[in-house]
Amino acid sequence: MRLLLGSLFALAVAALVGLGTTWLALTRGSAFGAVAIGAWTAFPKSGTRDVDPYARAAIARSGELPVGSGDGVAFFARADDDGRSLDGRCDVRISGTTPQARFWTLTLYDPQGRLIGNAIDRQGFTSQEIVRAADGSFDIVVAPRTRAGNWLPTNGVDSYLLVLRLYDSPVGVATRAAREAPMPSVVQTCS
């Protein structure tokens, strides 16, 4: 009787630990081979054959097709430079320059990777569309209400995800530090 109770207990613990850690690992995102620069994180290995088993599982579960390494690299930001989650009711200013690339796009998604609808039907910018300062730097304001200049509407959602994709760029698996890839700053102000 004791043996039976004990093994049932052990099996229950095993199921809880095994499936719980799997779920956590797949929803929190993989930490292997991540390149973190400021608020931005990229997983360049996800676009290669050397993708780790956790990233493979996460990709199969979400149903996305990662950007191939010969195509470009995707940087994700879920929080600002101070580590606070991006909130669609606050104003977020993305400014500075991007690493060298032929084109880049900045897109706003909900935390599950879906586009968010809004009145002006804008979900992102390409490097060709934005208004720049004379020195080539830019300011993009991600905010719930209309702004002059480069305005990306959040539609007031609780949380969102920004993806900056660099196409035909030397940034990739070999990139280690911010000096090789100067990413724009992400500053959030909540009123």
Partner 1 sequence: MIRWLLWLLAGALLGGIVHLVAVLMLPRTATQDAYSRLTPVAPLNTVAVLPQPTPQHELMPLMDPAFASAVCRYDLENGPIKLTVPISPAYTSVSFYTRRGVAYYAINDRSAGRRQIELQLMTAAQRADLAEDEDVTAADRLIVESPSNTGLILMRALAPEPGLMPVAQAALGKASCKLEPLTAER
17 counts as binding partner 1 under rule CB under 8 A: yes
Q: How far is the CB of 159 from partner 1 (least distance, A)?
A: 15
Q: Which is nearer to partner 1, 105 or 188 (CB)?
A: 105
Q: Which is nearer to partner 1, 156 or 189 (CB)?
A: 156
What one-character-per-residue DSSP string does the chain give?
Answer: -HHHHHHHHHHHHHHHHHHHHHHHHHHH---TT-EEETTEEE-GGGGSTT--HHHHHHHHHHT--PPPTTTEEEEEESB-TTSPBP-TTSEEEEEE---S-SEEEEEEE-TTS-B---TT---EEETTTS-B-TTS-EEEEEESS--SSEEEE-TT-S--EEEEEEES-S-STT--STTTS-PPEEEEE--
Give residues 28-57 in contact with partner 1 (rule: CB under 8 A).
46-49, 51, 53-54, 56-57
Of 32-40, 88-96, 126-134, 173-181, the segment contacting partner 1 by CB under 8 A is: 126-134
Compose the 84-123 pattern: x for residues touching partner 1 by CB under 8 A, - for all others.
------------------xx-x-x-x--xxxxxx-----x
